[in-house]
């Protein structure tokens, strides 16, 4: 069974205790620690492998969404808040789920189960001399896509959409997991919602890249790294 390391970022002790109790009831979750603010959380992220953050939005020092903006490669994030009006903004940051306080255990369990890919649904990378490919699980079939065909990949909440010159393929998977799977020599993440093939970039500016006449934004937190790689 895969174990997911969790971090609670919450300044209300009662809310943090409820999350701690819930995490303790789920076998595949392991709580690393509780942080009362985002500054402490950043220090933990430097030292520990964190797969999931339970993030309150109204934090001292740095607010929740501002904290997400500072993360170049954010883990999965579940928002925990008493304010429903930020739900749409939360999904713009590609959060795994948005939980309203007080949080019922059944709703908590539904959220964390999104971490677990369905059996045999994870893409498979097959590395071959000359031409590697992925097998993607689409409608109970395994569909082959060659790495050198991929133009870019877009995250759509729980799904990824692969774009080639003549087709698109949609699969249920997380962008951060795909980033780890793909070879860094061929692909680069340029935004929290986009991975692109380096050799498919036709043009670029300080704010976006162009691939097959499609403009794809460069995220502010990715800008320095992306431009240093592209300009080589």
CATH assignment, 130-230: 2.40.50.1020
Q: What share of the chain is helix, strand, coil (3-state, %, to 5)?
A: 30, 35, 35
pTM of the model: 0.55
Same fold, 4-115 and 130-230: no
* Residues β-bridged to residue 79: 55, 98
Which CATH superfamily includes the segment(s) 4-115? Response regulator (3.40.50.2300)
CB–CB of 64/39 below 8 Å? no
**Side-chain half-sphere of 71: how many Cα atoms within 13 Å?**
27
Which residue in this structure is represented by tokens 């036709």?
202
pLDDT per residue as tens digits for the range 9-25: 999 999 999 999 999 99
Question: Edge to edge, what strands does the sheet with 203-204 contain?
Answer: 203-204, 208-211, 214-217
pLDDT category at 199 given cuts 50, 70, 90 is: very high
Instruction: Parse the chain into domains and list their residue ranges.
Output: 4-115, 130-230
* pLDDT above 70 for 120: no
Average pLDDT over residues 180-184: 91
- Mean pLDDT, the chain, as a whole number? 90
Cβ neighbours around 211 below 10 Å, total: 20
């Amino acid at each position: 069974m895969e174990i997911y390391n969790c971090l609670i970022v919450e300044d209300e002790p009662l809310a943090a205790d409820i999350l701690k109790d819930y995490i303790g009831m789920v076998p595949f979750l392991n709580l690393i620690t509780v942080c009362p603010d985002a500054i402490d959380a950043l220090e933990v992220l430097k030292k520990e492998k964190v797969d999931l953050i339970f993030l309150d939005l109204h934090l001292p020092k740095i607010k929740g969404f501002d904290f997400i903006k500072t993360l170049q490669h954010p883990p999965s994030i579940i928002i925990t808040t008493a304010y429903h009006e930020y739900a749409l903004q939360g999904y713009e940051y590609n959060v795994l789920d948005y939980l309203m306080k007080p949080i019922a255990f059944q709703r908590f369990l539904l959220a964390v189960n999104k971490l677990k890919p369905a059996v045999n649904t994870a893409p498979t990378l097959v590395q071959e001399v000359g031409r590697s490919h992925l097998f993607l699980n689409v409608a109970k079939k395994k569909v082959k896509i060659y790495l050198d065909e991929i133009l870019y990949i877009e995250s759509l909440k729980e799904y990824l959409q692969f774009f080639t010159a003549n087709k698109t393929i949609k699969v249920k998977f997380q962008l951060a997991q795909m980033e780890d799977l793909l070879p860094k020599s061929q692909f680069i993440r340029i935004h929290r919602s986009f991975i692109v093939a380096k050799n498919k970039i036709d043009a670029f500016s300080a704010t976006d890249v162009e691939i097959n006449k499609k403009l794809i934004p460069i995220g502010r937190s990715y800008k320095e790294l992306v431009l240093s790689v592209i300009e080589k």
